[in-house]
Structure 1
Amino acid sequence: MTRSELSRRLSAVIPNADLEVVALPEVPGIRLALLQQSYPQHLLDNDTVAKIMNTPMYWAFCWASGQVLARFILDNPHYVKGRRVLDFGAGSGVVAVAAAIAGARSVVVCDTDPLALLACTCNAELNGVVLEHASSLDSYSGEIDIILASDVLYDRANLSWLQVFLNRAPSVLVADSRVRDFSAENYQLLSANSSYTFPDLDESQEFRRVKVYLGCRT
């Protein structure tokens, strides 16, 4: 029922679009319900493109930074194992699912889009994990040991979130491919990897280089 509702809402914005359950190329142990790979994106007319821009369906894609951070967490489970985790701007929930698989004590998906939270529920069920929901960081009053955030710095105004995260939790993991001169206080570079959004949006190479940063409260 959850997936059917997501498909219905998706096709209302993108004509004839549907969701398909796929294993991620770089994290094959995680399966997500995403926009069908065969969808002819080049045939979208201007009206449909405008509608998509006004009603973004971020949850229908697994963005490059999400894939990289999910892979990083599965390869380095000590960052989340036994800890209370919040995935900020969760989208499809790929990072939250990875944290749950890696042994997190609890995982909260936080997103202002109700459909994204529905997608997180769907994808949690596909992977046999349980996720809690929050519509905003302010609305969640529980304790947080670490915040995870991928691809949320696409607007430079969002850089202010980096300090907000550390005010709320002692540790933060951020994955980003948009900020060239990342130099936030109390954050350090951990790794850099090439990746891509899935289904592939044919983004430029500069947006395929994803860096993972660790923030620690002083």
Structure 2
Amino acid sequence: MPESLRQAIQRTLSRGRLAVTRPGGCPALALYLFDPTVLEGPLSHEEAQAVVAEPAYWSFCWASGQVLAQWILDHPELVRGKRVLDFGSGSGVVAVAAALAGAAEVYACDLDPDALAAARANAGLNGVPVLTCDAWEDRPGELDLITAADVLYDRDNRPFLQAFRAAATEVLMADSRVRDLNEPGYNLQATVEARTWPDLNEFEEFNRVRIFRA
């Protein structure tokens, strides 16, 4: 395991640990993810405060990320030979899937430097190259496809939907937080059931992922 990731997870949770695992929704990919076996008993007050203050989103493979990654692996023609940017990349699962499916160049874009480190590590774990970008404003030009999974939990991200369309020829996104996207240009492709890995026992409505294409 990369030392940088070990340090990152322990900044959030002192007894935290990562393990190589294959998420149930996209078992072809191996990822460094949070190991729930270390949690013997409830979190202390200090641990709970640390998790809330600096959540390690990248150490979980969220349902929408799994579904979008598997969708790309099942439909490699969507990315083959293209320049792809994965927005809000987290663990990098979608970026890694795009690289595995034959994309010419893949960027994982995330504001969290730990997420970018995770994306690079997970790309290496799967034997594919993934580049990183730490801000939307610094993205490369001439993008063919933008992917995004579970970025609409924050309503302030909604304007990105049209920004994506302006920045790339196509957009492919997955979301479990928005039931009716109702956004011009975006069309529902499929609805797929999946669970966050490791499982966080979320409400069942958040296990229903919708894939949209623009």
TM range (shorter): over 0.9
Which position in structure 2 is the counterpart of 1:208?
A: 207
Which position in structure 1 is the counterpart of 2:147?
A: 148
CA pair 9-210 structure 1, distance change in 2 beyond 3 A? same
What do the CA deviations read for 1:59-113 (whole angstroms, capped 9, x no partner)?
A: 1000000000001001111110111000000000000000001000110010011
The structural deviation recorded for 1:194 is: 0.6
The structural deviation recorded for 1:45 is: 2.6
The structural deviation recorded for 1:39 is: 3.3
Which structure 1 residue ranges, 5 or more long, are not aligned? none
The structural deviation recorded for 1:23 is: 1.6
The 8 Å contact of residues 65 and 93 in structure 2, kept in 1 or not, is answered as: yes
TM-score normalized with structure 1 length: 0.94
Matches of 1:22 and 1:101 in 2, distance apart?
A: 17
1:26-175 to structure 2, matched below 5 A, reads 26-40=25-39, 43-175=42-174
What do the CA deviations read for 1:134-177 (whole angstroms, capped 9, x no partner)?
A: 11121123321000000100022211110011111121001000
- Per mean C-alpha deviation after superposition, the further-off stretch among 173-182 and 47-56 is 47-56
RMSD across aligned C-alpha pairs, in angstroms?
A: 1.3
Question: Is 1:193 the counterpart of 2:192 in the alignment?
Answer: yes
Q: In percent, how many aligned pairs have the same letter?
A: 44
For the residue of structure 2 that corresponds to 1:138, the secondary structure is helix
TM-score normalized with structure 2 length: 0.96
Shift >4 Å, 4+ stretches: none
For the residue of structure 2 that corresponds to 1:167, the secondary structure is helix
Question: Is 1:12 the counterpart of 2:15 in the alignment?
Answer: no
The structural deviation recorded for 1:26 is: 2.3
Matches of 1:70 and 1:152 in 2, distance apart?
A: 15
